[in-house]
Amino acid sequence: MKKKRKFCIYCGGQITKSREDDVLRDCCSSCHCFFYDNPLPVVSAIVDESRQILLVKRDRAPFKGHWCLPTGFAEAGESIEDAALRELMEETGIKGRISRLLDVDSYKSRFYGDLLFLTFVVDKTGGKVAAGDDSAQAKFFPISEIPPLAFRSNRRALETYIKSKKDYWAILDAIENPDDIRNLPRHRASNALTRRLLNVILKNKEKMISQWIEEMTTSPSTAEYHGHEITALYTICDKIISQITLWLGNAYNIDRIKNFYIKLGSERNKAGAKISGVLSALSLIRKHIWDVALAQGALQKNLDLYMTFELQRRMTIFFDLATFYITKGYEEREAARNAFPSEKRRRKSSLQG
């Protein structure tokens, strides 16, 4: 329990209560000096490492034996940010860098009176987890296994943090983010977020194809397609968009994608098309998928912003693959065509000999 003032620290007079600015304050009955009980600043740090939160077990009252965020009082002469990093280091052995101020909360403690909790999100920059003088233990807990926290302000701040990351974590769970596309799992059931990405494309497929065909038959970069049969163009674009939906849903077959684009590149070479025109046609499909996705309001919410970035990343990988295999098919056909006259001449020469 917080102790009450009894005597004035300046003259030794007895403390009474008196009003100042409509606030009842401690006041010296002799020198009439007022004493101000302003909230004490308390700092807390949220350190998140792969969805695991760093907590400490308190080694002293209040709430001895309970878990909490690395928490402590700010000292005179230090900034509030420095106080948060100092307490983090003292209680856990972890060095950090302030990322942002997450939450501010008022709290009334029976031990210390009015407190002002300021909770920061902190990025770990070094150190090893080790309990300090004020803590019996320090360890990372998965967000699904957070124990009951000692302070209401800690609970509130951590709930705010998890809520702020929920959409981002859901995106990571919904859509794989591998470094090597060969390791992407196939035939994995799509959840709601993945379906939202696919629905943007599927619901607007006809519009995408229509816009693509219109530009294909008018753009200077695809002049060789200006007189191309519309139904053939439709079939190609429809096939590519179908492949993209399978790609985004992790239900694709990499060999089918490879074979399709090698064959397409070979066919375009056989038809006498320029590789620049073929790749321009492919890039225009990507452009119109992107334009239609943006037109659906994909930047209106934070979740959709993540989805937009993810859609862009996944499409980049897909079209990089398509570009590579189209070029490979085109070059293989070109090499075979160039080799054929030489073989024909060799056989003719052999017959003459």
The rounded radius of gyration (Å) of the Cα atoms in the chain is 34
Tell me if 179 is assigned to some domain.
no
- pLDDT cut 90: percent of the chain above it: 33
pLDDT tens-place string over residues 184-219: 343 343 355 566 667 778 788 888 899 899 998 898
pLDDT tens-place string over residues 262-298: 998 999 888 888 898 889 989 988 888 878 777 765 4
Please tell me the total count of domains within the chain. Answer: 3
Q: Name the pLDDT band for 68 (thresholds 50, 70, 90).
A: very high
The torsion angle over the Cα atoms of residues 240, 246, 250 and 254, rounded to 10 degrees, is -50
Which among 150, 174, 198 is the end of a domain?
174
The Cα 181–Cα 299 span in angstroms is 27
The Cα 334–Cα 262 span in angstroms is 12
Using alpha carbons, list the distances in angstroms from residue 194 to 109, 175, 252, 293, 310: 46, 7, 14, 14, 10
pLDDT of residue 1: 55
Residues 301 and 154 in one domain: no
pLDDT tens-place string over residues 308-324: 666 677 778 888 888 98
The single residue listed with the structure tokens 């609970």 is 155
The Cα 334–Cα 268 span in angstroms is 10
The Cα 125–Cα 34 span in angstroms is 45
Which has the closest alpha carbon to 266: 347, 334, 203?
334
pLDDT tens-place string over residues 125-162: 999 999 887 778 999 999 999 999 999 999 999 999 99
Mean predicted confidence (pLDDT) in 245-266: 83
pLDDT of residue 340: 61
Mean predicted confidence (pLDDT) in 1-26: 86
Instruction: Please spell the DSSP secondary structure of 141-181, one letter per residue.
Output: EEGGGPPPBS-HHHHHHHHHHHHHHHHHHHHHHHS---SSG
pLDDT of residue 120: 96
Is pLDDT above 50 for 229? yes
Q: Which of 3-17, 67-81, 172-186 has the highest mean predicted lDDT (pLDDT)?
A: 67-81
Cβ contacts of 57-62, under 8 Å, gap ≥ 24: 57/131, 57/135, 57/136, 57/137, 57/138, 58/134, 58/135, 58/136, 58/150, 59/131, 59/133, 59/134, 59/135, 59/136, 60/134, 61/111, 62/109, 62/110, 62/111, 62/150
Residues 264 and 331 in one domain: yes
CATH of the domain at 33: 2.20.70
- What is the distance of C-alpha 306 from the center of its chain? 7
Give the structural domain span for 104. Answer: 40-174
pLDDT of residue 255: 83
Residues 48 and 126 in one domain: yes
Q: What mean pLDDT is reported for the chain?
A: 82
Cβ-Cβ contacts under 8 Å for 350 (sequence gap 6 or more): none
pLDDT of residue 248: 76
Residues 11 and 140 in one domain: no
pLDDT of residue 184: 39
Residues 121 and 79 in one domain: yes
Which has the closest alpha carbon to 201: 291, 304, 282?
291
Reported pTM: 0.50
Residues 210 and 310 in one domain: yes
Tell me if 349 is assigned to some domain.
no
